[in-house]
Amino acid sequence: MKTINKLNTKQVVLITGASTGIGHATALYLDKMGMKVYAGVRKETDKQKLLQEGTSNLTPVFLDVCDQDSITRSFDLVAKETGEFTFSLVNNAGVSLNGPLELLPLPDIKKLLDVNVCGLLSVTKTFLPLIRKNKGRIVNISSGHGLLAIPDKSVYAASKFAVQAITDSLRVELLPFGVSVSSVVVGKVNTSVLGKILDDRNKMLEKAQPEIVKLYSHLIEYFDKEVKNIPGIEAIEVAEVIAKVLNRPKPKAQYLIGPGAKKMKVLSRFPSGMRDNLLYKAIYT
């Protein structure tokens, strides 16, 4: 890990989805840099883990982004303790769902959109008064799939395109208040989430009709190999970029992290016909 540089300690940040992966790494990283960190978790075990690993400046809070009462309770807690400090929000909570649309259960589709889109909007809307008060920042964690929608990722890509749209809209909407809004576009990250994604995919295939699974077998096999072969980055690398976004006088609108995200950015600039043809040939020939 790089040497940790101290941030302006008069900053408070809330990170959603801090139980594992990027959120967990970011909470600990910003804590070590001297920020007051509120880390959103949903389980007591995750709370205790953060308390053991962090300093007294790190406060785990029970936060379910799909539950407005939970969001409001978190707001009330943070608002009491923020005072005149600059408050910023890192919207990291999210779930993944991969597979051909015909095989995806509708309840899972709705859950993903509820977490990745509606949850992000609910938390941001609730905390905007604190963010505006002292010209804080909003950092939305996105994905390369929010730059380019590819087969097997229709629902997940839809949610991450929405994150990009929300970021672009709020960046100008909140400009009069001195609030900056950035997206951090992440490629493959080496976390335990990858194992869960593969497990969830296998469970989905087991429940689906075999004749439908067979129709999409080439697509499924291709992307299973693709996920395993793409080089990943460590969660701490994302945490380091988030720290820069929170500390730079004029953060960029978008940050790309990892070869996967950069590859998607390049491919997104290709004409759609050329891009579709390349994808089709890669998958089916």
Q: Which residues are catalytic?
A: 156
Residue 4 is classified by DSSP as P
Half-sphere exposure of 51 (CA within 13 A, CB side): 9
Secondary structure of residue 15 in the 3-state scheme: strand
- What are 230's two structure tokens? 């793409």
Largest CA distance in the chain: 61
**Pairing label, strands 11-15, 58-62:** unpaired
Is the separation of the CB atoms in 39 and 17 below 8 Å? Answer: no
Q: How far apart are CA 134 and CA 123, in angstroms?
A: 18
- Written as one letter, the residue type at 251 is P
Is the separation of the CB atoms in 14 and 65 below 8 Å? Answer: no
